[in-house]
Structure formats: structure tokens, C-alpha cells
Amino acid sequence: MKTLRVAIIALITAALLYLFFRGIDFSMVWRMVRRIHPGYLLLFTLGLLVQQWLRGYRWAILLRPRAADARILTLVNFTMIGFLINTLVPGRIGEPARGILVARKLGIKSAHGLASVVLERLIDALVVVCLFLISLLYLKQTSSPFITSMRQVAWVALPLFLGAFGLFYFMNRESGFAWTTRQITRLSRLAPSHRRQRLGDSLLHFITGLRLQLGVKEFMKLAVSSLAIWLCMAPVYWMMFKPMGIQATLLEALNYTCIIAAAASIPTPGMAGSLDAASRITLVSIFGAEANSAVAFTLIVHVGLILVLVATGLVALAIEGVNLKGIRRIREEA
């Protein structure tokens, strides 16, 4: 089963990379890449670091009911470790792995650490879908088949994520939590007797971890930081478009940010192919960019992402004393 999964991921990655590089003049792409000013690369790096700090700040809000003394810097480090694992290992297991690692660090239950990561991804998905739909209102090119397909996907995804948040809100009410607890107890009885207790306890710990018990002020901070995480990179991409000859407004750059964020969630190793193909299609189909310029820009962004995520992840590993050799064990637990 594991071999089949690896083979499927490899085939998907190869197909997406073929779409990305098809019909490209590699010598022209290389010339475009070489002429990018280092200042833009520095700007890109700073944007990513700000985004990582905002992620750590938001994670601290989510974990506050379980670990009131959680330091933002510690959570930023474990966020970077999670991205490092995602970059090196296919399957995006860096998400559950960092939840388990931070739970060990803070002395809380692993289920609570995992629940906080699930909430992060749920919030991110809802914010990205909403920002994408808003950015569609300001696109110059709205008749593209690609953007039509993306719009349809977004409108289908939006009620699903809103429904998930409705369920989350229901479980955070006393009556809703009591009802959910009863249903979990009943469902656990369907499991084999030797696993029944453990399964029920694990599910209850996870559901308990989803109960934020935050006040209005904390929820406002959660909403603002979640928006800032995705808004902070749009100006960076917008400024980087100009030296590559890509014409786009700031709101169109937000549209690009949302699309590659969704593409990066596809579990290919190091976002290979998924981010690349989505970036090229977006830049060509929506912004009318020349294919070579689109590929050159994408290569700069992708290589920059990998370098920053790997470098910061390795530094975070050293700071937190996490052994890279233990990733295999973490993967099995996750």
C-alpha cells in the first residue's frame, strides 16, 4: 500500500512538472532568472519570516486554553520544523508531526496538539477561499476557463468549510460538547473490546482539544492574525511581478497567493509540480504573462521557498533540540 501511494504521488508530480516545463525556452528562462535583483529575494525572505511569526502568534492563541505559558518563538520554531518535514517528506505529515512535537514540548496531550493543527488548517482553508472569492471581483480577465473552474471549486468549498466551522461552534457549546461526547462513547462500542477504551479516550481528548474557550477579544485576534497570514505575502508577489514583466494589480496578486496556497496543499514532495503548474497556469491564463516569464518567476518563488523553509527549519531543529533522525518515528505516530 505504501509503495502504491509513493508511485501515485510520483506519477502526479511527474505529470505536473511536464505541464510546467512544456514548450519552454530554457536559455531564456535562465536569463530572466539571473537578472532578478537580490533585493527582491531579500523582500521575499522577509515576507516569509513575517508570515511564519504570524503563524506562531496565532498558534499561541489556539493553544492558550491548554498551555497558557506557550512562547510565540517556540511555536514559530515548531511551525518551521513542520514545514521542513513537509518539504523533505511527501504526504504533508509535517502538520500532524509538529502537533505531536509541540505537545511533547509543552507537556500537553498529543490529541490537543493535533487538534490545534486541525483548527489552523480549517481556519486557513476558510480564509483562503473567502479571499479568493473577493479577489475574483477585481480580476481583469474573468472569462478564462481556468478561473471559471477555480470559481466553481471555491463556491463548492465555501459551504463545506462554513459547515465545518458550524460543527466546531456546536461542539464548543456545553450542550453540543455533551452531545458529541455521548455519540463518541456510543461509536467506540463498535470497536473491538481490546481497543474500545483507547479509541474512545483518544477521540474524546481530540474533541476536547477543539474547545478553544476563548473570549471575544481572543477570537478577534485569531481572525485578524489569520487574515494577516495570507495578506502579507500578496504585496511581496506583486512587487516581484514587475521585474519579470508580469502586469497585475495588488488584488490580482492576492488571487495568485490564494491559488498557489491551495496548490501547495497537494502532497507532492517539496510542492514539486503542484505549486509550479498552478503558478504557470495562473500567470498565463489570468494575467496574460508570457510562458517563459511565468516559469522564471515560479522557479524563483519555488527555489526561494525551499531554501528559506529548509534553512529556518534546520535552525529551529537545533534550537529546540529535535533530532532529524526521529522523523521516521514521528511519522509512524502521526
pLDDT in tens, 159-200: 877 787 777 777 667 777 777 777 777 777 777 766 767 766
pLDDT tens digits, 280-315:
998 998 888 899 999 999 999 999 999 999 999 999
Residue type, 204: L
Mean pLDDT of 40-58: 95
Structure confidence at residue 137 as a pLDDT band (50, 70, 90):
confident
pLDDT given at position 313: 93
Hey, what amino acid is at 231?
Answer: L
Among 20-24, 116-120, 207-211, name the one with the lowest average pLDDT: 207-211
Cα–Cα distance measured from residue 31 to residue 5, given in angstroms and rounded to the nearest whole number: 38
- Considering the entire predicted model, what is its pTM? 0.83
**pLDDT at position 314, please?**
92
DSSP characters over 282-332? HHHHTT---HHHHHHHHHHHHHHHHHHHHHHHHHHHHHHT--GGGHHHHHH
Helices 234-241, 250-264: crossing angle, 10 deg rounding: 110
Asked if 311 and 79 count as a contact pair (C-beta separation under 8 A), the reply is no
- Residue 173: helix, strand or coil by DSSP? coil
When pLDDT is cut at 50, 70 and 90, the band that residue 73 belongs to is very high
Share of the chain above pLDDT 70, in %: 86
pLDDT the model gives residue 330:
58
Running DSSP on this structure, what letter comes out for residue 213?
Answer: -
Report whether 297 contacts 236 (CB < 8 A): no
Q: Which pLDDT does position 301 carry in this prediction?
A: 94
Is the pLDDT reported for residue 333 higher than 60?
no
Question: What's the whole-number mean pLDDT along residues 84-94?
Answer: 80
Question: Which uninterrupted H or E stretch holds 254?
Answer: helix 250-264
Q: Mean pLDDT across the chain, nearest whole number?
A: 83
